[in-house]
């Protein structure tokens, strides 16, 4: 597990002060360094420093309830947010670009291909900590903790005989690929799974990167709109045919089907 802020209270305070004015914090989680959702626009009241001069800050009401609360506290509102909005737009675009580069040229290139992926997950001991802390993995009983995957020693022996050998611990890839399939569309890049990993597996970056790619296909963004349904729940028969085509064509030309 990794502590991002080590040391005493003074160090914490120093980092907090630095974070108020800084755009880059090397001590932050890897995913926080490439996050472009760093404002609280879904909160009733947002406290903002971006675009403000030193010793000033913005209090932004994002809902009628927020407005009411600020009025009750004596704030009249009506301030100009133009400088803040322009500064935010620039920062967010820079972060988007940084994220794209990180997931394509840096981290992305390290895990590209089956061998690199297996090597990335090599230290995984299948403890499922990453799943337990994930805010999206809220199933009452996780499939990967269920009896369906509790197999007898004979099962392992049978599989080892059949394949010639069996990697222990088994099924780590099944766990990650399965979990990725279940929830990576909704991964919010919070990074806590990677914090909770006892073996330093870059699991949050892997899930966030795959999530970015699959979300781009569906033009979906988790949390953007409460009315927007998850692509899993919105089945359309005519979509993604360009992905299916290679498989349907190879089935058509399969000798056994003629």
- For ligand SF4, the binding residues (CB under 6 A) are 124-131, 133-137, 139, 142-144, 179, 182-183, 187-193, 196-199, 201, 203-204, 207-208
Neighbours of 113 (CB within 10 A): 9
Asked if residue 42 lies in contact with residue 240, where contact means CB atoms within 8 angstroms, the answer is no
Q: How far is the CB of 31 from ligand SF4 (least distance, A)?
A: 6
Of 50 and 206, CB closest to ligand SF4: 206
H helical segments located in the chain: 9-21, 30-33, 64-72, 82-101, 107-110, 114-120, 129-133, 153-163, 172-183, 192-196, 203-218, 241-252
Chain centroid to CA 187: how far?
4
Q: How far is the CB of 67 from ligand SF4 (least distance, A)?
A: 31
Of 11 and 132, CB closest to ligand SF4: 132
Per-residue b or e along 22-39, where b marks 16 or more CB atoms closer than 10 Å to that residue's CB: eeeeeebbbbebbbbeeb
Of 102 and 207, CB closest to ligand SF4: 207
Of 50 and 142, CB closest to ligand SF4: 142
Q: How far is the CB of 3 from ligand SF4 (least distance, A)?
A: 16
Q: How far is the CB of 62 from ligand SF4 (least distance, A)?
A: 23
């Amino acid at each position: 597990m990794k502590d991002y802020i080590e040391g005493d209270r003074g160090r914490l305070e120093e980092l907090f002060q630095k974070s108020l004015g800084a755009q880059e914090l090397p001590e932050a989680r890897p995913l926080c360094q490439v996050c472009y959702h760093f404002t609280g626009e879904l909160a009733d009241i947002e406290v903002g420093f971006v675009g403000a001069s030193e010793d000033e800050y913005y209090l932004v009401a994002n809902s009628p309830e927020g407005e009411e609360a600020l009025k009750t506290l004596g704030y009249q509102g009506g301030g100009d947010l133009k400088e803040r909005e322009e500064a935010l737009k620039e920062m967010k675009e820079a972060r988007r670009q940084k994220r794209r580069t990180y997931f394509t040229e840096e981290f992305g290139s390290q895990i590209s291909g089956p061998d690199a992926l297996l090597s990335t997950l090599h230290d995984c001991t299948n403890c499922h900590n990453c799943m337990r802390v994930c805010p999206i993995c809220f199933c009452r009983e996780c499939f990967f903790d269920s009896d369906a995957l509790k197999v007898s020693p004979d099962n392992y022996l049978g599989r080892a005989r059949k394949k010639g050998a069996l990697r222990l611990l088994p099924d780590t890839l099944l766990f990650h690929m399965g979990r990725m399939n279940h929830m990576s569309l909704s991964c919010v890049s919070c990074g806590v799974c990677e914090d909770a990993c006892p073996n330093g597996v870059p699991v949050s970056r892997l899930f966030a990167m795959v999530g970015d790619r699959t979300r781009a296909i569906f033009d979906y963004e988790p949390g953007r709109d409460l009315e927007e349904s998850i692509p899993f729940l919105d089945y359309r028969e005519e979509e993604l045919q360009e992905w299916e085509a290679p498989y349907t064509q190879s089935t058509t030309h399969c000798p056994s089907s003629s």
